[in-house]
Structure 1
Amino acid sequence: MWSFLIASITASIAISASLNVLLRLRLKPVSLGPVPALHSLAISLLSATIFAGMLASSVDEIRDTRWFWQLNKTPFQWLLCFPLGTRPSGRVFFWSYAFYLSRFLHILRTFFTLLRRPGSFSVFQVINHAALVLMSYLWLEFSQSFQVLAILSMTVAFALVYAFRFCTEVGLKQETRRFSFVMLCRIALVVTNTAWHVGLLVLHFWKGGCNDMGAWLFNTVLNSFVLLLILNFYEKGAMIV
């Protein structure tokens, strides 16, 4: 799994950089027809499916396992803080694995952007996609706490953003409104994920430990780096959405 992850991320970065060089020589956009619109529709529907599956599985897991929880533990606390020793198996982690695989479908958008707009290579977009693939794998591999809430938040945002992109690409929405809507979803996602991180940290010290805080620390650093990139590119007005 690690070799596949590293090879996939490396290949996506190499292909993006190669396409950027080749298309700079061409200087003409490549017509993709309905492919980008279909891609946006597929991601929106897939994200909605993962959201529904994760939500239903979490409800079932809470119902079936709550009987041996501590009396002072609530379902929300379980969503934020997995018990120590939790293994990545069962229905919740099935949807976590589906979310991880769905991240590779998102990477295709970078290639579409390069083909349609030669010379528009975005370091932010490439790094952002690679970072999300890595983070989703770490959530699954190490049974990281709070991943259920993070996946629910992200799949809602992706379902909305890519549904809006689909409407834009087929002419149902104005192109000029896309940037503000996508940024609004990004900001909402950053705020909710920050809340999950803070909640996890509080429960970790208050309730005697949450599963896999090592991966949480790595993800926090990675999230901070991506957030700095977002702010930097937004300030320069150079973000490709």
Structure 2
Amino acid sequence: HLLLLFRRRRPVPLGPIPALHSLSMALISATIFVGILSSAAAEIRDTRWFWRRSKTPFQWLLCFPIGTRPTGRVFFWSYVFYLSRFLHMLRTFFTVLQHRRLSFFQLFNHSILLCISFLWLEFSQSFQVLAILSTTLVYSIVYGYRFWTAIGLPSACCPFVVNCQILLLGSNVVCHFGVLLLHFFKGGCNGIGAWVFNSVLNA
């Protein structure tokens, strides 16, 4: 039955499902953003005595001290972000069901985000806090915009989603250089092997 469904010539009517998906992703992304921001601020306040001689708070966000374990409030929100990637991947199925063109980049991007967020947790990778903050901020805006247009409200005159993705990519590239510099000049960053692997995937 599933094979026959995909062989249909006409797109499968999804009704309000894509709009509801966009709304839920926007709300979840905003929740994760607020949660990890407050958790990171509390973590910096409570553990700064341990690393304040070698790092500033911003440097801690980029570069976890060697030996950091994936436990505590920050990694709780990192795990929530990882779980949200499964919900995010539903857009791929919506594209297929609606017989829209699914590019290799879209499929690859949705897949590697799941892999990357898993490695963040598994290896307590540095940079993940800033990456989650920037990603969830952009996603809350992008999915909010998609919900806005899905319910029939006017769209932006410029390629809004693409511009947001370019902005996210640019900020990530700058932060990656920061991680690299801190790793070599500030005594090393935790999970640097996973960071290298993820950087190759993102290249």
Shared fold per TM-score greater than 0.5: yes
Unaligned runs of 5+ in 1: 1-17, 225-241
Compute the displacement of 1:72 (Å).
4.2
Matched to 1:220, the amino acid is S
Residue 141 of structure 1 pairs with residue 122 of structure 2: yes
Q: How does 1:102-121 map to 2 (within 5 A)?
A: 102-116=84-98, 118=99, 120-121=101-102
Compute the displacement of 1:87 (Å).
0.4
Deviates more, 1:177-186 or 1:94-103: 177-186
- Asked if 2 retains the 8 angstrom alpha-carbon contact of 1:107 and 1:129, the reply is yes
Residue 39 of structure 1 pairs with residue 21 of structure 2: yes
- Asked if 2 retains the 8 angstrom alpha-carbon contact of 1:84 and 1:209, the reply is yes
Q: Which has the higher helix share?
A: 1
Q: How does 1:56-71 map to 2 (within 5 A)?
A: 56-71=38-53
Among candidates 142, 148, 151, match of residue 161 of structure 1: 142
Unaligned runs of 5+ in 2: none
Residue 207 of structure 1 pairs with residue 189 of structure 2: no
Among candidates 104, 123, 127, match of residue 108 of structure 2: 127
Among candidates 151, 160, 171, match of residue 152 of structure 2: 171
Compute the displacement of 1:68 (Å).
2.1
Compute the displacement of 1:184 (Å).
0.4
Name the TM-score, length of structure 2 as normaliser: 0.95
C-alpha distance in 2 between matches for 1:162 and 1:126: 18
Over aligned residue pairs, what C-alpha RMSD do you find? 1.6
Question: Paired residue for 2:172?
Answer: 193
Q: How does 1:221-236 map to 2 (within 5 A)?
A: 221-224=200-203
Return closer, same or farther for 1:178/1:138 CA change in 2, 3 Å cut-off. Answer: farther
- Asked if 2 retains the 8 angstrom alpha-carbon contact of 1:168 and 1:178, the reply is no
Deviates more, 1:64-73 or 1:37-46: 64-73
- Asked if 2 retains the 8 angstrom alpha-carbon contact of 1:165 and 1:178, the reply is no
The list of structure 1 runs, each at least 4 consecutive aligned residues, that deviate by more than 3 angstroms after superposition, is none
Name the TM-score, length of structure 1 as normaliser: 0.80
